[in-house]
Structure 1
Amino acid sequence: MHDSPRVVVLAGGVGGSKFTLGARGALRDRGIDDTARVLTVVVNTGDDLWLSGVRLQPDVDSITYALAGVNDTQRGWGRAGDTERVNHELREWGAGWPWFTLGDLDLGTHLARTGWLREGLTPTQVVERMSRRWPLGARLLPMTDAEVDTIVTVRDGGGIRSLHFQEWWTRHRATLEPVDFENPGISSAAPAPGAVEAIADADVVLIAPSNPVVSIGPILSVPGVRDALRSTSAPVVGVSPIIGGRVVRGMADVCLTAIGVETSAAAVAGHYGARADGGLLDAWLIAEEDSDLAADVERSGIRPVVRPLWMTDAAASTALAAAALDAVHG
C-alpha cells in the first residue's frame, strides 16, 4: 500500500456515516492531511425520493452532514439544531407525508439540490457542488446518476402491495412483512462518473457496516460495480453490521430475513461471498462477541478479523476504520 493509500468506502445510512468519519480520522492519524485526495465514498442513493416537489437524498445528506460536523447525532439524521416550521406548514396544507419530518435547514439542502437538478446538473455534479460548502475531507460520489428509488413489496392485510422504501421504513417501521426489494431501472443504470475508476485505482476498498440489503445492496446492483470489485487489485474488506447476532441500528434483520439470510456476522459474510469464489470479500471484520463465528467465516473463503465493532464515539469509529485498513496486511 502507498504511504497515502487510496481508499474507497461503500456506504449508506447512519452506520455508513459513522464509518466514513472513522475512515477520515484513521487516515489523518496516519499523517494524511489532504484526505480528500485519497478518500472516495460511493454513497447509496437507493432510498432517494421526490417529496413535495423536492429531491431528497437521505444517505448523501447524512454522510455530508456528518463529515461537515453539522449532523444531528442524537436522531442520527438531519441537521443539528434544526427547526420544523416549514414541515408544520406543509402538514397544515395536507402536503407531503405527515409522518416524514423535514427540518428547515434540511429543506434548504433539498431546495438547492432540486434547483440545480432542474438547471441540468447531474446528481454527481450536485454532490460535488454541495461538497464545496464544507471541508469534508473526502470525495463523495452517488452510486449512479439515475433515479433508482427502492420499492418494497409487502404483505398487508392478506394482500400484496408495493410502497416506497421510505414509507415502509419510516412510517411502518418495517413492520409490514417484505416480500421483495426492487430498484426499478437499475439494470439500465450506469455507475456515477469516477466510481468504477476509483475502485479500480484503490489500494483498499472498505464496505461499511451499513444495511446489506437496502444500503449496500443497491450500490452492488448498479451494473459494473460488482465487476469492478471483483477485478480490482485492491483488497476488499467488509465490516459486519451484526454484533452478537443482533443488528446495531434499524431493521436490517427484517431485510435480511426477507432475502433468506440469517442475522449473523457469518451469514452476512457469506451473502457478500469470497472473492476467491466469485464473491466480493477478501477479509471481514467481526465483533469480539462473534469470535466463535471466525471459523465459519474462514470456511467460506474469507479471512476473519476479530475487533471491537461498536462505534460509540469518534475515537471508536476511527479505531474500527484503522483496523479495517490494517486488515489488508493479513
Structure 2
Amino acid sequence: MSGAVTRKVTLLAGGVGGAKIAEGLAALPDVALSVIGNIADDDDFHGLWVSPDIDTLTYSLADVIDRNQGWGVADEGHRALDTLARLGADTWMSLGDRDFGLHIYRTMRRRRGDRPSLIARDTARAFGIKAEILLPTDDTVQTRVRTDAGWLSFQEYFVRERCAPEVRELAFHGLEQARPAPEALAALAAADLIVIAPSNPLVSIAPILGVPGITEALRQSPAQKIAVSPFIAGKVVKGPADRMMTALGERADAVGVAQRYSGLAGRLVIDHADAALADSIRAQGMTPACSAILMQSLEDKTRLAREILDLAFAGVPAEAGA
C-alpha cells in the first residue's frame, strides 16, 4: 500500500456485530481506527466491574476471542466461577478465569480513581491492539429493561432470562447526566469517516448517541458518515434487536434502521436480500448501498470494510482525507 493515504475512521459499536466490523477495519493498512464502544451494558458482578461490549471489542481486536460463542476468551476455564457457585454465589453471568483477570484489573484501577477511558486505553495497549478503544463517557450509564415482571438490568434480561421476556420499555440510567469523554469527541471531530456498526440500534448504539454532546459532535463532524444495517431479510444474526424493535413499535428491518439513523448518516449499507427496501430507505433520507453484510470470516470482515471505505471515498481526492 505504498503511497496510500491513511484514513481516520471512527466506529460506533456494540459487542459482537460491532467487533466484527472493527476487525475488518483494523485489518486495512490504510485505516487508523478508533472505536467508541457501548458501556451501558456494564454492571457489577462479584464485586468486580464488568464491561461486556468493551471486552468483546478488546478480545476480538487482540484475536483472543472465543470465536465459537462470540464473546469471552478462547481456551478458557471456569474454576473461579465453580468456587463461587460452591460458596453459594449466583453465577448465571458466565465469567471465565482469564476474563476475571481483566475485571480485577479494571476494578482495581477504578477504585484507585483512574478514568475508565484511560483503563480501556491501557488495556488495549497491553493486549497489543493498534486501534484506539474509546468510551463515550467516563460516567456510569446502565440500560434497564421493563418487562411484564418489572424492571431488569440489561444483563439480567440478556443473560439470565435469555431475552425471553417481552420488552415493554427501555431506560438508560445516568445518561442525561453523563459527560462525553474528550477522547470520543476528538475522534469524531478528526475522523475522515464515521461508521455506525451493525450493532443493536436500541441498546448498543442509542446509549452512545444519547450521551450529551456525542450526537452533536457526530453531526458537526465533516467526516463521511455510513451506517451498516444489522438486519438481513428482517432478522439479525445474533441478539434480540429484531424482537426488541418489534415489541417497541419500530420496524425490525433495514427501513427501521434508516428511520433511526436518518440525519446522522448519509448512507446505509444493507444486504442484497434487502434490495427491495431501497426505495423505502431513500424515503427516510438515506442512500442505500447493497453488499453481502454477513461476516463469518476475516475475509468477509475486511471485504466489507474495504467496500465501506470505497463507498465513502469514491471520487474523493486522496488529499481530502489526509
**TM-score scaled by length of structure 2:** 0.94
The question of whether the paired residues in 2 share the 8 Å contact of 1:46 and 1:215 is answered with yes
Q: Residue 150 of structure 1 aligns to a residue in which SS?
A: strand
- Residue 182 of structure 1: how far off its partner (Å): 1.2
Structure 1 runs of 4+ with >6 Å offset: none
The match for 1:206 among 169, 190, 195 is 195
1:129 partnered with 2:118 = no
- Residue 175 of structure 1: how far off its partner (Å): 1.3
The match for 2:267 among 283, 300, 303 is 283
RMSD of equivalent CA atoms: 1.2
Q: Residue 113 of structure 2 aligns to a residue in which SS?
A: coil
Q: Distance in 2 between matches of 1:113 and 1:258?
A: 35
* Percent pairwise identity: 39
1:301 partnered with 2:285 = yes
Structure 2: tracts of 5 or more residues without a match? 315-322
The question of whether the paired residues in 1 share the 8 Å contact of 2:242 and 2:253 is answered with no
Equivalent in the alignment of 2:74: 80
Q: Residue 34 of structure 2 aligns to a residue in which SS?
A: strand
Equivalent in the alignment of 2:218: 229
The match for 1:180 among 169, 176, 181 is 169
Q: Residue 105 of structure 2 aligns to a residue in which SS?
A: helix
1:310 partnered with 2:310 = no
- Residue 203 of structure 1: how far off its partner (Å): 0.4
The question of whether the paired residues in 2 share the 8 Å contact of 1:261 and 1:268 is answered with no
Once structures 1 and 2 are overlaid, which stretch shifts more, 235-244 or 186-195? 186-195
One-letter identity of the residue aligned with 1:298: R
The match for 1:64 among 58, 68, 91 is 58
Q: Residue 213 of structure 1 aligns to a residue in which SS?
A: helix
Matching of residues 131-150 of structure 1 within 5 Å? 131-150=124-143
- Residue 258 of structure 1: how far off its partner (Å): 3.4
Q: Distance in 2 between matches of 1:237 and 1:215?
A: 17
- Residue 329 of structure 1: how far off its partner (Å): 3.7
Equivalent in the alignment of 2:160: 171
The match for 2:106 among 105, 109, 113 is 113
- Residue 107 of structure 1: how far off its partner (Å): 0.2
The match for 2:92 among 93, 99, 103 is 99
Q: Alpha carbons of 1:41 and 1:153: their partners in 2 closer, same or farther (altered >3 Å)?
A: same
Equivalent in the alignment of 2:186: 197
1:239-261 CA deviation, whole Å, 9 max, x = no partner?
00000111111111122123321
One-letter identity of the residue aligned with 2:200: N
- Residue 129 of structure 1: how far off its partner (Å): 1.4
One-letter identity of the residue aligned with 1:91: A
- Residue 151 of structure 1: how far off its partner (Å): 1.0
Tell me the matched-pair count: 311
- Residue 195 of structure 1: how far off its partner (Å): 0.6
Q: Distance in 1 between matches of 2:87 and 2:181?
A: 37
